Amino acid sequence: MTTSDHLAIKQPRCEAFAWKWMRYSAFLLIPLVWIHAIIQDLITGGHNLSLEYVHMRWAIFGWRVYDIFLLAFAFSHGVNGLRQVLLDYSKSESATKTINWTMFIFWLVFASIGAAALIYGVRIP
Amino acid sequence: MHDNVNITLPGFAKYKGKGFYAFILHRISGLGTILFLTLHITTTATVFFAPQWYDVLVEIFRNPIIMIAEIILAFFVIYHGVNGLRIAYVDLIRPDLWKKKPTSRLISAVFIVTFLLWLPAAGILGYNLLKYGFNLFGS
């Protein structure tokens, strides 16, 4: 959905908000995701990843705040995007409702798992 | 406005030509990224929920097949970002650009920028693949 005037077609107000959310979060996600990917994938690299590394990284409070932002914006953008794709194939009111609830629960479960790990941190066995 | 967009199902835009590839690639890259992101959140969360599993999972991700998938993922994320920036910019700031010619030009620019940004990333990830995935260059 890349046209701006389809908003003129009767849509619930929350859908207009979701539509705008995708675009505003996009501007924020460009620096957030790319800095994250450059540091973790290109500078650190997967071969240097370990429990000890995550422990060290999250000892710095700023990185935890950074990761909270990343989780909040990237995951909601992603799940809402998936929801919008699925809704394109929805042909009934009830299908739309099912998609919306499934996506909300999906978002809630995984966002909570990620947030819990970020808040409580690494448990060194 | 409607010269390059056909509305078929409500909300489902059917594009033609270059616009179609930009649209479909945006969806495929988005779906690939959310799949990865869900996996990434879950595996990273084991540092708290099951710390003894974390290093085991990281070891599995050092598989060359997954390292190749990572290079494709890098392309997806870069494309999704550059093309998404185009969509957000035109929708929110320059809606007058939603016409056939400027759209076509912008999409070409998106593909070029994506490729230029992906090349160095693919170079570094490809080097890591050869070095750590296939144990080349000695160690």
- Token readout for A76 is 């909601």
| pLDDT at residue B1, as a whole number | 41
More confident residue, B14 or B65: B65
| pLDDT at residue B137, as a whole number | 80
Q: From CA A125, how far away is CA B59, in angstroms rounded? A: 18
Using CA of residue B39, residue A100, residue A21, residue B24, what is the dihedral sign? positive
| pLDDT at residue A12, as a whole number | 76
Please give the average per-residue pLDDT across B42-62, as a whole number.
95
In tens, the pLDDT along A111-124 reads: 999 999 999 999 98
Phi-psi region of B137 (alpha: psi -120 to 50; beta: other; left: phi over 0): left
B128:A47 CB<8 A: yes
A46:B45 CB<8 A: no
Please give the average per-residue pLDDT across B31-59, as a whole number.
96
DSSP SS3 for B94:
coil
User: Which of B44, B129, B96 minimizes the C-alpha distance to A117?
Assistant: B44
A74:B44 CB<8 A: no
CA distance A56 to chain B (A): 12
Enumerate the H helices of A10-122 as residue ranges.
13-37, 51-58, 61-87, 93-120
pLDDT of residue B10 exceeding 50, the answer is: no
Quick one: pLDDT band at residue A46, thresholds 50, 70, 90? confident
B60: contact with A, CB 8 A cutoff = no
| pLDDT at residue A9, as a whole number | 55
B132: contact with A, CB 8 A cutoff = yes
pLDDT of residue B2 exceeding 70, the answer is: no
B32: contact with A, CB 8 A cutoff = no
What ipTM was assigned to the predicted interfaces of this complex?
Answer: 0.89
User: Which of B61, B60, B43 minimizes the C-alpha distance to B51?
Assistant: B43
A81:B52 CB<8 A: no
Please list every residue in chain A whose beta carbon sits closer than 8 Å to the beta carbon of residue B31.
82, 85
